[in-house]
Amino acid sequence: MFKVSRKSEYALIALQHMSRQPRESLVSVAEVSAAENIPQDVLAKVLQTLKRAGILLASKGVGGGYRLARPIEDIHFLDVLRPFEDQLGVVHCQVSGHSCERTPACGLRAPMAVLNAFVMRQFEGLTMDMFVTPKNMVASQRTAANPRPLSRSRRDLAPALIAGDLAADCQLTGVGLGTEHAAGSETDAR
């Protein structure tokens, strides 16, 4: 199961908080800590890590604090997680450099590689605006003046498209899904 660390959770919460502030305003560690109920010492380390990753800008001194380095819609979900997670994967054997004693005889390794590739590709498309903007607002922000759509979760797209992506992953890895899982099959419609 894909699970993120507590520090990743705190990073996501802090970015949500900062995205609700005026664009150039700074927020202090103490302010975010109090507002979001995050231990101040841990939050300070998390925000420093996000600064080193280029996600936040910091200003020292009286009145100093942190702010987003770029608009929230330009910050990718995985860019926030990567500084805090050693490796990301659905199962242990799909994380780079890891294997298990069952690898030579495991019948799940190839299908799990497909699943891992699919899940990671979905995560790559997520941006932080999806975590702070209500779904109906994301769709309404697409206008002639702003034709670049804000990223949307794959769950908003047609299930057949997702099944098609999974089928494409299977073709790339040489793993078969069987006809009952193909995009647009009758069993999916029931």
Residue-wise pLDDT tens digits, 8-51: 999 999 999 999 999 889 999 999 999 999 999 999 999 999 99
User: 49-93 pLDDT, tens per residue?
Assistant: 999 999 999 999 888 999 999 999 999 999 999 999 877 777 766
Bridging pattern class, strands 56-59 and 65-68 = antiparallel
pLDDT value at residue 2: 67
- What's phi and psi for 58, nearest 5 deg? -130, 150
pLDDT digits (tens, 9 = 90+) for 94-124: 666 666 777 677 777 778 888 888 888 888 8
Per-residue model confidence (pLDDT) at position 166 = 52
* Domain spans, the chain: 1-85, 86-125+157-190
Query: What local confidence, expressed as pLDDT, does residue 85 receive?
Result: 86
Q: Is 158 helix (H, G, I), strand (E, B) or coil?
A: coil
Was domain 1-85 assigned CATH 1.10.10.10? yes
What is the pLDDT at residue 96? 64
